[in-house]
Amino acid sequence: MEGMQGMSSFSNGFSSSSNLLEVRNLKKYFPLKGLFFTKGYVKAVDNVTFEIRKGETFGLVGESGCGKTTVGRTILRLIEPTDGQIIYDGRDITKFKKKDMDWFRRKAQIMFQDPYSSLNPRQTVFQIVMEPVNHHGIDVHDPEAFVIDLLEKVGLNEGHLYRYPHEFSGGQRQRIALARILSLKPEFVVLDEPTSALDVSVQANILNTLKDIQGELDLTYLFISHDLAIVKYMSHRLGVMYLGKLVEVGNSDGIFEEPLHPYTKALFSAIPIPDPEIEKRKEKLVVKGEPPSPINPPSGCRFHPRCPFAREICSQKEPELKKVGSDHEVACWLY
Ligand code: SF4
């Protein structure tokens, strides 16, 4: 991708093992309502377990409809989980009542894909950035100076203070959204496809701003994307999702060097990776067909109807994530 070629990804040598977020057996089933009764469930997220360490970017990648966006929203309780635990800084947020949720909503924020719909067109930039601060009743000594400081952090300036969203480009609107997020001094931000609605030419600038701010403000990110090049550029660790399940988790460089799960291999085969060495070495694996429906997912390994390596056990028994390296887990009967 333009602006990212030739740039190294993050150093992935994280020494800290302290987790900011631990997701344990998370499930989100959406009921399918019939006329008189529930006809079934869309198992959008089904028994997902992973952790995010303080200060890192954890990438969540997979095809459209795999459940990655639902994971991001459920973690923030924008959608209520069906089951499982979400441990944030040692506290299970699924048990939080309103007062604790107010605390959590200051700590954990989300940046949406579409900057057009996330900003109120009738508010000035100043009002947009101050709104969450006012909502939480936070006392700011000099609001104008406070907002100007945030605007400068995200690559805007004082001259933008009293302008309206329609006066800005898509990239600038995403920067306004970011200033608004930062106004609450969060620790954790879910970035849900934050650049996929933007022109390729501005994507790299926004990604670099996100990286700079992460270092400066000690932020932890969950970075959700279908774009492997961007995930590689942004993530220290990553999880690959298929049909509501995590199939491979671990150090980002390690997985890009040597993807193990057949689905990860197929995903990487389909898209060029902006690293000529990896691109040359990578195994080309093409799978047939479309992902099955999450309403009635296949038995055993959900990938078995499409997997060229499927064996008898694959359709009968579901593989769990299994440790195959110091920071690498795979859910596949081949390992
Ligand atoms: Fe393929 Fe079996 Fe591994 Fe599933 S468990 S990815 S079907 S080999």
Mean pLDDT of the residues in the chain: 89
Closest CA to 234 of 286, 263, 194: 194
Are the C-beta atoms of residues 10 and 57 closer than 8 Å to each other? yes
Q: Hey, which residues does 80 pair with through a beta bridge?
A: none
Are the C-beta atoms of residues 303 and 232 closer than 8 Å to each other? no
Question: What confidence score (pLDDT) does residue 98 get?
Answer: 87
10 Å Cβ neighbour count for 31? 12
Pocket test residue of 248, 287, 301, 324 for ligand 1, highest count of atoms within 8 A of CB: 301
Question: What confidence score (pLDDT) does residue 274 get?
Answer: 66
Closest CA to 319 of 332, 307, 309, 302: 332
Is 332 a pocket residue for ligand 1 (Cβ < 6 Å)?
A: yes
| pLDDT tens-digit readout, 163-222 | 999 999 989 999 999 999 999 999 999 999 988 878 888 899 999 999 999 999 999 999
Question: What confidence score (pLDDT) does residue 78 get?
Answer: 95
Atom of ligand 1 nearest to the CA of 262: 6
Per-residue burial over 86-107, b = 16 or more CB atoms within 10 Å of its CB, e = otherwise: bbbbeeebbebeeeeeeebbbb
Is 287 a pocket residue for ligand 1 (Cβ < 6 Å)?
A: no
Is 303 a pocket residue for ligand 1 (Cβ < 6 Å)?
A: yes
Closest CA to 238 of 257, 210, 215: 257
| pLDDT tens-digit readout, 72-93 | 999 999 999 999 999 999 999 9
Q: Where are the beta strands (DSSP E) in the chain?
A: 19-33, 38-53, 57-61, 83-88, 91-92, 108-111, 188-192, 220-225, 237-242, 245-251, 322-325, 328-330
CA 334 vs. chain centroid, Å, equals 28
Is 262 a pocket residue for ligand 1 (Cβ < 6 Å)?
A: yes
| pLDDT tens-digit readout, 117-146 | 778 999 999 999 999 999 999 999 999 999
**Percent with pLDDT over 70 in the chain:** 93
Question: What confidence score (pLDDT) does residue 5 get?
Answer: 44
275 phi and psi angles, rounded to 5 deg: -145, 105
What angle do the packed helices 170-182 and 200-217 form, to 10 degrees?
20
pTM of the predicted model over 0.95:
no
Task: Reply yes or no on whether the pLDDT at 1 is more than 70.
Answer: no
Distance 222 CA to ligand 1 centre (A): 27
Is 295 a pocket residue for ligand 1 (Cβ < 6 Å)?
A: no
Task: Reply yes or no on whether the pLDDT at 149 is more than 90.
Answer: yes
